[in-house]
A and B are shown apart, each in its own frame.
Chain A
Amino acid sequence: AQKVTQAQTEISVVEKEDVTLDCVYETRDTTYYLFWYKQPPSGELVFLIRRNSFDEQNEISGRYSWNFQKSTSSFNFTITASQVVDSAVYFCALSEGYGGSQGNLIFGKGTKLSVKP
């Protein structure tokens, strides 16, 4: 069965600290997609990144970086030099990409990040 686990329910850091959000997934498929979304207090989910199961390259986008390791079924997200505006709930999600579709996302429970000034 598919499952996404975000063990950290809440994290609180002080501005400029680095923070890593953990994500562990379970799937039997060899083809799948992993995602991170951000949900600020306004409620709208904001897409951050998508990786497919065949691409284990780490990715960096500004202060954000992602570490994908199939050996440990993990897809962790690091924010470098955190800012108050990073405060939000972050969700990791999995799609098994059936028939090319990624419209069936399995979400983790989310990690609430609070960045204090």
Chain B
Amino acid sequence: KAGVTQTPRYLIKTRGQQVTLSCSPISGHRSVSWYQQTPGQGLQFLFEYFSETQRNKGNFPGRFSGRQFSNSRSEMNVSTLELGDSALYLCASSPLGNEQFFGPGTRLTVL
């Protein structure tokens, strides 16, 4: 079974731009979660989607948004990028109620 895939793997943007990251879950997994990892704040939960519905949301500003499609693929969007948004963004998928399996992440650098 293929693992969680995330695209792109690396991204460089400038302040004020917006960015969209994509995540394809493991086949059969309908729950997708997103996390931000930075050296200062560590791993922080962004949001979780199940069956195209947001189930949980972390404590992030409205500039961070996401969605899930009918095939369980998910995207997250960050608008009006700030320097502090530079991070590794990790996506995880799971069958609902079970452990999550993580993708390799997208490394976003904001200049």
Contact = CB atoms under 8 A, between A and B. Distances in A.
B103 interface: yes
Contact of B35 (A35, A102, A105): A105
Contacts, number: 70
A53 interface: no
Contacts of A46: 102
Output the residue of A50, A99, A102, A110 with the most chain B CB within 10 A. A102
Interface in B13-57: 31-33, 35, 42-45, 48, 50, 55-56
Interface string A60-71: 000000000000
A106 to B, nearest CB: 7
Interface residues of B, number: 28
B96 A100 contact: yes
A110 B43 CA distance: 9
* Majority-rule SS of B interface residues: strand
A46 B44 CA distance: 17
Interface string B64-106: 0000000000000000000000001010101011111111110
Q: How large is the interface on A (under 10, 10 to 19, 20 to 34, 35 or more residues)?
A: 20 to 34
A54 to B, nearest CB: 14
A102 B99 contact: yes
Contacts of B32: 103
A104 B45 contact: yes
A44 B106 CA distance: 10
Interface of A: 35, 37, 42-47, 50, 91, 93, 97-110
Interface of B: 31-33, 35, 42-45, 48, 50, 55-56, 58, 88, 90, 92, 94, 96-105, 107
